[in-house]
Amino acid sequence: MRVLVIEDDRETADYICSSLRASGHVVEHASDGKQGFLLALDADFDVMVVDRMLPGLDGLTLVKSVRLAKVATPILFLSAMGGLDDRVDGLQAGADDYLVKPFAYSELSARLAALARRPPIQAQETSLRIADLEVDLLRHAVTRAGQDIVLQRREFQLLAYLMRHADRVVTRTMLLEAVWDFNFDPQTNVVETHISRLRMKIDKPFETPLIHTVRGAGYSLHD
């Protein structure tokens, strides 16, 4: 495991770094916030340990800046500031865990191992595009060939699901579960009705249809 330790107290830093190295980990150390920030941007670490009270750049600002720079490395705050508000501030700044000094190395090691095991955070999907059809997931806006298309909430959810599964067949049951949160068949034509409405808005005004019926199976969205 590659660990970046950003800690200005020499005794604490030596203790953490020597213990981690003795456990077989590769450790980089920064003694101030600015140096730590540059290392966090330039090197690939599995986890970071960050003190709150750092010279040059305080821990909260460092973590916020790292997250703004799209660095997703798990971060553990290690600080003598152990009040509830302090811990909340640390987590809201972008840290994944918070450990209060004084601490036991065994707990620090276990927490770092747990953070390193977490799957990487995927970039948030903000838009979907198929051919000349585009969906803005943040603004809930839909355009095709540059023309705005107004959809109701359920129509928007249905279209987004179809686009996320473009070029694949999605069944009626899949749509009921994903869009309507039904884990049973309500024995209505709610799916067919909404597909028809989507086609009127997404396909009918344009030359090329995108929503296709797969007979006996379901629907597929493709160009």
**pLDDT above 90 (res 121):** no
CA–CA distance, 156 with 142 (Å, rounded to integer): 8
CA–CA distance, 204 with 215 (Å, rounded to integer): 20
Q: Which amino acid, residue 81?
A: M
Residue at a domain's end among 117, 152, 180: 117
pLDDT at 185: 77
What share of the chain in percent tops pLDDT 90? 78
Claim to verify: residue 81 and residue 157 sit in the same structural domain: no
- Domain with 137, as residue range(s), is 127-221
pLDDT band at 43; cut points 50, 70, 90 = confident
pLDDT at 138: 82
Strands 147-149 and 211-214, by their bridges, are: unpaired
Residue at a domain's end among 90, 117, 144: 117
Average pLDDT over residues 2-12: 95
What CATH number does residue 22 fall under? 3.40.50.2300
In a domain, 73, yes or no: yes
**pLDDT above 90 (res 203):** yes
pLDDT at 196: 96
Under DSSP, the state recorded for 203 is: I
pLDDT band at 47; cut points 50, 70, 90 = very high
In a domain, 98, yes or no: yes
Claim to verify: residue 24 and residue 76 sit in the same structural domain: yes
The mean pLDDT of the chain is: 91
Average pLDDT over residues 123-139: 85
Claim to verify: residue 162 and residue 190 sit in the same structural domain: yes
pLDDT at 120: 61
Sign for the CA dihedral angle at 139, 143, 148, 153 comes to negative
Give 78-89 pLDDT, tens digit per residue.
Answer: 999 989 999 999
pLDDT band at 123; cut points 50, 70, 90 = low
Claim to verify: residue 135 and residue 203 sit in the same structural domain: yes
Give 142-197 pLDDT, tens digit per residue.
Answer: 999 999 999 999 999 999 999 999 999 999 999 998 898 887 778 889 999 999 99
Q: In angstroms, how far is the first alpha carbon of the chain from the final one?
A: 45
- What is the tally of structural domains in the chain? 2
Average pLDDT over residues 203-222: 94
Q: Angle, nearest 10°, between helix axes 153-164 and 190-198? A: 80
Sign for the CA dihedral angle at 157, 163, 165, 167 comes to positive
Residue 165 backbone phi and psi in degrees, to 5: -115, 35
Claim to verify: residue 26 and residue 100 sit in the same structural domain: yes
CA dihedral angle for residue 101, residue 104, residue 106, residue 112, rounded to 10 degrees: 0
Claim to verify: residue 151 and residue 191 sit in the same structural domain: yes
pLDDT band at 135; cut points 50, 70, 90 = very high
Give 8-41 pLDDT, tens digit per residue.
Answer: 999 999 999 999 999 999 999 999 999 999 999 8
Residue at a domain's end among 71, 96, 117: 117
Claim to verify: residue 39 and residue 85 sit in the same structural domain: yes
In a domain, 122, yes or no: no
Average pLDDT over residues 88-98: 92
Residue 32's DSSP bridge partners are: none
